[in-house]
Chain A
């Protein structure tokens, strides 16, 4: 059965790109959020199997959103997609509970591989 994905990114273009990549590879995009607050609300409402999370966003950044989502659901699977590939940022994202960190701009294979690995556990 297709896995349900919640996409979180503040640019509509990037959400569209991710949606296209994921849909073409058998994933079901159940929701899109433009900031961390929307992400938390949609996570509760939609209970997706996995989340792609941007870091730099208005209202609430991705790292805070990851921490809050995992407080509610410690098993939440979240993959970070950010242009800020600095070592410290990757460490911070992974220690807040992200399963993987994809540096933008990403390649389709890398996205699918990261989601596949996280879902396999």
Chain B
């Protein structure tokens, strides 16, 4: 198989996934925030070896929130990762108040924001693959990024050696909130995605 064509197909697939997913997410956030305008920057995305996964977030001590959902069938797992600060800012918009720490309600609001963000990308993956994708209930971890990323890897249990990472930046008035979608695909599903964009 021509490696250049595969490379092009991967690039096209990443572009499509990040654009549709981030677009879906911004629309959803805007609705959740009472139709407040939510801007986006051009998302960045990459397919990288799972060994590079820990390098995603440069500061291993930074407090982050990670939610992980398995997707039924041989599809993989999807995680949404955000700094605790940005997660609290977004959850605060939902609750219409300034959140300083974690209580039951703010945790639940963070859970719901993560749910909507993940759904935006699962729905994008479903569009691209033309398959019905059913995510399971999420597990949420809050703590230093090194520990959270590690628990995502362990919990996902996927056999894939590659991950797709999409970084989205949402503009909430003066605030830039960043979120990472990390998709750990089973290799068969990754092949399905790439095949959709092969021009051979």
Contacts and interface: CB of A to CB of B under 8 A. Distances in A.
Q: How large, as a class, is the contact surface on chain A?
A: 10 to 19
Contact of B108 (A12, A57, A86): A12
Interface centre among A84, A88, A106 (most CB of B within 10 A): A84
A76 B128 CA distance: 35
Given A13-B94, A105-B31, A106-B31, A83 B119 contact: yes
Contacts, number: 55
Given A13-B94, A13-B109, A105 B134 contact: no
Contacts of A12: 104-105, 108
A107 interface: yes
A27 B29 CA distance: 26
Interface stretch (B47-55, B78-86, B110-118, B147-155): B110-118
B165 to A, nearest CB: 21
Contact of B116 (A16, A86, A104): A104
B97 to A, nearest CB: 13
- Across chains A and B, which 7 residue pairs bring their CB atoms closest together, nearest first? A83-B119, A88-B132, A13-B108, A12-B108, A105-B32, A105-B31, A13-B109
13 contacts: A11-B111, A13-B95, A14-B112, A16-B108, A56-B137, A57-B137, A84-B119, A85-B123, A86-B123, A88-B132, A89-B132, A105-B31, A105-B116
